[in-house]
Structure 1
């Protein structure tokens, strides 16, 4: 081979090597870029819930709604057939247990050429619609302009919308902007004052305000005060320049100042608000992702945690009316769940404690505002008692000390438990004063009004088969019990004694701590012997005398394991039944009753077969308490994989699931389901 040919080949090889290295660097750079996006916690919330809905009427709940900062109103992304530039809504939870104010309260109309030519065509120019835990956004583009629309909640009173128009053509564009909207027939009328359109409701004390920060030419209120039109001054947009339009929607209850909120709106920078919300949500989601159990590090589990986080966020409400602290609805999507329930609140608080302990504490305080002098805590309470009354007919299972203890584990706030401890202690002993018919140290569910239905509600498992033949007994004035002692109630009380002992120790109250530990030791022996059927290998409710089991295997059977109150032998027997595919290890494991029972009916029985994720979590934690970690891991995976849509992008988290088919049942966007998904996947 000649030197000339050799040199040419060498140069060719070097060039090939350089190209290969450049290609590898490029691929590596792309890979790193993709990995960095995946590592941004906010990205896991990207379109995790499908917010697309163009409501057909004021009661249309066929889609999901986005809210933040505890606001009592929410928005969605319009479907393509809406042809309107703007966001769907707002959906108002300020009145009538949730109702759409309008299909689109603020429609943006952009025209050019003396108002004759539309600047945008919704269907042709819409390029993307995106949702994140921090905000909603829409992007439009044609040969002349790029239009970006964002919506973010500035506070629990106000949502800001920004429309940013960029001229990408080579010539100046003269843009005419009109913002208009009409109200559904829901008892709201419009008025105007200066540059603000106000919304006054016949059915709510909350007053709405629409404020545009740009130069307004004129505002018109039309059609018997149900339609408004805001004409902005003409925009002369030069090539490669942008212009922003900022509009706010506020809904203010009389407890708050509109003037203060208005000043904040006028002095707030949109990007500052949006970036602060992005930082807030990133930090919250990151705190969930970094605390996962090692077995659940896959991306699908990160996504479902982001979905759970966003579900809790959408159900968050600030104080208003009779409600004095922030808290979470069970579900904004179901009209009868626009309130605050006690055992829901305890569960929400534990889920919140992993990423927002301050809100978790407010959720606890909310319910203890409704504690009577004797210690009783109301079952459920509402903002507007003209819509729905507080329920004092019963309380709910005692899980409040568990919740407070779990919050304290996260933030070590002694001032919080110092305030709550006496309330928890009073509530704990209330059970023994008002719900122990035969004074044997074992409690029963009951009611304050002597009704059987309220007594069943007190269990939280309203129509569970163990209550099919229950009767009501009077203990004293306004205190009634069922004629059976319940294993789950006494397991919860056993666990509470340990949690109260821990809190007492933290508060340096050794006598209280010792007393609760002694009571727990005594109670443990009672419930191990009375509620456990050696032959069946299961825990059941019994009659008052403790001489007969109330048969029918249900999820209450593993609460003894959740409370760490069972012997190892008992726990092993219960575990074997839990892992039996014919009984509880179904497609969505650990449902409310055994699949081989003749009354098992998930589609027609609220607590007679469906899988509630709180009960499923108690089952998984029960296994972990006794070292059955492989079974617990397998059950967790099967719960999440088997529940329809849970790991998918788009569908909401449901109230409960069919254990055999996985079908989502009852309410959407259910808070305690979301809270227990967090508990299932995270450590501690």
Structure 2
């Protein structure tokens, strides 16, 4: 496999280096993902879709071989669980104003660059460029530039076609085309903007529309003319989008993306060409921003969804959010803060944070929470920005959430918690772990702690490692905020939990950390990725860490082709393709595994495993493969959802280990 990868990586490296020398900061990351596709049905998610600025509508380049002008779309993510509302947007028709002959535009190129889709066409003496980008979370713009080699007048029309959705309808509204949807207050408005010109005729026929300028465009030789097609999505009829600054919109887009990509320069992994590391990091940035959704409906802050490619993921999930925020902190800190706030907007009076929240709050899941990585995420924002005010804003909320775990999820009140649920069901308790069908939960039973509070009958090692690190980081935050008494109390709890995890959850004969059964001295002896979480948290003794490292580096268990599966490869339940949490590689757990090795000084081993994660994920480093929900540890093939945000976030953090070091913030 690597004999094939290395030539591809060399070619990719040379292409990136050439583009960088040519002075094209965005072009060096051209076509990181393939955005070509034309929807065949309203539910078609078989190709990638371009989103930016938190917009709930997205677009694609037409499928390869379709040389017609314009773009595919829009896909409206806020309609149900997402569907295509349009087939073609901003198709361009030109006619010579004198001879009235149609001008046949020939496609020259179609590309995706970070932050935009670009198409170029030519005809005799005329060059046309269409660039689709977002001015904000409401407005998608197509910037049309016409450049003539000789002075001429041309007539211009814009056309588009809607997806024939039941109950959907097009109508003309003055100089605009509006599209409504059955059972929804959302509307889509399409307009043509050209300085000094107005739309003369707006016509609608069935699911097609056409907008024609009131008079010909006068093109002077060598003096490009620019106009815009604007598509605005209102989530409800009462929404009032902001005005567009056409003069500055494109420059603002380029400046924002240049800032995002500047952060990519910090990506580095020993033994991997920096150009390759930066390409993977840039793809991760594109993926995370592509899954950004603005505050709408019952979502009060912006955030990042797990994946637009999966109709089940049209909302914000708690532990996904913590991972997204940890990576966003290093290139989009405002969005990172919003992502964290979006979940804490729904914190309950008892401190619980729900599993997930949606545009319509009736779909929110309160049956369980998710692993407590919120303080880790807040600390990442602090390390990246030095934002003390954000620490102050979040401190009490983090404290309430931390204490909730021990109030509702510590059945025997011994200072170690269990995963559980609010409804007493084991399935919701498994969801709360994030590892839904993990083998370690196969024999778990539910115990009632109180009204709407249940625990599994085992103390999970990863949960308590997360809680221990959370207590230690709450101590750090308290120190920054000038709360010395709180700092001492949190550090005392962290120390107590550290000792308890070392003594209660470690098997010295097997050299691994396991979940512990309640009321018994027994351990749940399943070799899973949770076993290295105490190293990630800094809980293990050096001797314990040495034993865990040995097992992690065993090729029969965890040092697989693509390393650190969620279940040891020699376990009889190991299922690397369809096992979900019973064997595939999940990048968050692999990231934590690399960080665990780094934390205890196993730098060489950590770097070797990190390189495998980059190089052995099929198509990720050199091709156009998307980030997948999980991977086959034996082949590197990706499975489940495409364009998966926490995988993108994990790779970003993997490629900048300075972001992950558990440093103590200074007051």
TM over 0.5: yes
Answer yes or no: is 1:67 the counterpart of 2:57: no
Listed as ranges, the matches of 1:561-576 within 5 Å are: 561-576=535-550
**Cα offset, 1:40, TM superposition:** 5.3
The DSSP-based 3-state class of the residue aligned with 1:587 is: coil
| Partner of residue 163 from structure 1, selected from 144, 162, 166 | 144
User: Residues 187 and 237 of structure 2 are in contact (CA less than 8 Å); yes or no, is this contact kept in structure 1?
Assistant: no
Distance in 2 between residues matched to 1:249 and 1:418, nearest whole Å: 40
Deviation string for 1:598-625 (max 9, x for gaps)?
A: 1001222110011000000000000001
- Structure possessing the higher radius of gyration over alpha carbons: 1
**Cα offset, 1:240, TM superposition:** 4.0
* Structure richer in helix, relative to its length: 1
Match of 1:302 in 2: 278
Q: 1:576 to 1:53 in 2, by over 3 A?
A: same
| Partner of residue 282 from structure 1, selected from 241, 255, 258 | 258
User: Residues 57 and 103 of structure 1 are in contact (CA less than 8 Å); yes or no, is this contact kept in structure 2?
Assistant: no
User: Residues 38 and 44 of structure 1 are in contact (CA less than 8 Å); yes or no, is this contact kept in structure 2?
Assistant: no
User: Residues 497 and 516 of structure 1 are in contact (CA less than 8 Å); yes or no, is this contact kept in structure 2?
Assistant: yes
The DSSP-based 3-state class of the residue aligned with 2:136 is: coil
Answer yes or no: is 1:673 the counterpart of 2:647: yes
Match of 1:133 in 2: 114
Q: 1:255 to 1:221 in 2, by over 3 A?
A: closer
**Cα offset, 1:71, TM superposition:** 0.4
| Partner of residue 250 from structure 1, selected from 224, 227, 232 | 232
Distance in 2 between residues matched to 1:517 and 1:358, nearest whole Å: 30
Match of 1:222 in 2: 205
**Cα offset, 1:239, TM superposition:** 4.3
Answer yes or no: is 1:90 the counterpart of 2:98: no
**Cα offset, 1:203, TM superposition:** 3.7
Q: 1:626 to 1:275 in 2, by over 3 A?
A: same
User: Residues 104 and 181 of structure 1 are in contact (CA less than 8 Å); yes or no, is this contact kept in structure 2?
Assistant: yes
Deviation string for 1:584-610 (max 9, x for gaps)?
A: 111110110111111001222110011
Distance in 1 between residues matched to 2:398 and 2:639, nearest whole Å: 34
Q: 1:629 to 1:345 in 2, by over 3 A?
A: same
The DSSP-based 3-state class of the residue aligned with 1:428 is: helix
Match of 2:216 in 1: 234
Answer yes or no: is 1:52 the counterpart of 2:36: yes
| Partner of residue 201 from structure 1, selected from 181, 185, 195 | 181
User: Residues 267 and 274 of structure 2 are in contact (CA less than 8 Å); yes or no, is this contact kept in structure 1?
Assistant: no
Distance in 2 between residues matched to 1:283 and 1:217, nearest whole Å: 40
Match of 2:246 in 1: 268
Distance in 2 between residues matched to 1:75 and 1:256, nearest whole Å: 25
Distance in 1 between residues matched to 2:522 and 2:318, nearest whole Å: 31
Distance in 2 between residues matched to 1:112 and 1:100, nearest whole Å: 34
Match of 1:143 in 2: 124
Distance in 2 between residues matched to 1:117 and 1:186, nearest whole Å: 38
Match of 1:362 in 2: 338
Q: Choose 108-117 or 440-449, whichever is displaced more.
A: 108-117
Q: 1:527 to 1:115 in 2, by over 3 A?
A: farther
The DSSP-based 3-state class of the residue aligned with 1:149 is: strand
Match of 2:581 in 1: 607
| Partner of residue 555 from structure 2, selected from 581, 584, 588 | 581
The DSSP-based 3-state class of the residue aligned with 1:104 is: strand
Match of 1:456 in 2: 430
User: Residues 418 and 459 of structure 2 are in contact (CA less than 8 Å); yes or no, is this contact kept in structure 1?
Assistant: yes
**Cα offset, 1:288, TM superposition:** 2.8
The DSSP-based 3-state class of the residue aligned with 2:86 is: coil
Q: 1:558 to 1:219 in 2, by over 3 A?
A: same
- Give the paired residue count: 641
User: Residues 315 and 359 of structure 2 are in contact (CA less than 8 Å); yes or no, is this contact kept in structure 1?
Assistant: yes
User: Residues 41 and 286 of structure 1 are in contact (CA less than 8 Å); yes or no, is this contact kept in structure 2?
Assistant: no
User: Residues 16 and 29 of structure 2 are in contact (CA less than 8 Å); yes or no, is this contact kept in structure 1?
Assistant: no
Deviation string for 1:380-427 (max 9, x for gaps)?
A: 0101246xx100000000110111111111212222111210110011
Listed as ranges, the matches of 1:334-483 within 5 Å are: 334-385=310-361, 389-483=363-457
**Cα offset, 1:249, TM superposition:** 0.5
User: Residues 85 and 107 of structure 1 are in contact (CA less than 8 Å); yes or no, is this contact kept in structure 2?
Assistant: yes
Distance in 1 between residues matched to 2:467 and 2:23, nearest whole Å: 42
The DSSP-based 3-state class of the residue aligned with 1:600 is: coil
Distance in 2 between residues matched to 1:165 and 1:554, nearest whole Å: 59
Listed as ranges, the matches of 1:7-18 within 5 Å are: none
Distance in 2 between residues matched to 1:180 and 1:361, nearest whole Å: 38
Distance in 2 between residues matched to 1:183 and 1:341, nearest whole Å: 30
**Cα offset, 1:65, TM superposition:** 0.8
User: Residues 19 and 27 of structure 2 are in contact (CA less than 8 Å); yes or no, is this contact kept in structure 1?
Assistant: no
Q: Choose 129-138 or 672-681, whichever is displaced more.
A: 129-138
Instruction: Report the RMSD for the aligned CA atoms in angstroms.
Output: 2.1
Q: 1:83 to 1:255 in 2, by over 3 A?
A: same
The DSSP-based 3-state class of the residue aligned with 1:89 is: strand
Deviation string for 1:467-502 (max 9, x for gaps)?
A: 111111111110000011111111111100111001
Q: Choose 633-642 or 536-545, whichever is displaced more.
A: 536-545
What TM-score does the superposition give when structure 2 sets the normalisation length? 0.92
Deviation string for 1:481-525 (max 9, x for gaps)?
A: 001111111111110011100111111000111001111111111
Deviation string for 1:248-304 (max 9, x for gaps)?
A: 00102249743x53xx23x522xx222221121111221231354565552111100
Match of 2:627 in 1: 653
Q: 1:38 to 1:546 in 2, by over 3 A?
A: farther
Deviation string for 1:4-28 (max 9, x for gaps)?
A: xxxxxxxxxxxxxxxxxxxxxxxxx
The DSSP-based 3-state class of the residue aligned with 1:406 is: helix
User: Residues 446 and 455 of structure 1 are in contact (CA less than 8 Å); yes or no, is this contact kept in structure 2?
Assistant: yes
**Cα offset, 1:200, TM superposition:** 1.8
Match of 1:10 in 2: none
Q: 1:32 to 1:531 in 2, by over 3 A?
A: closer
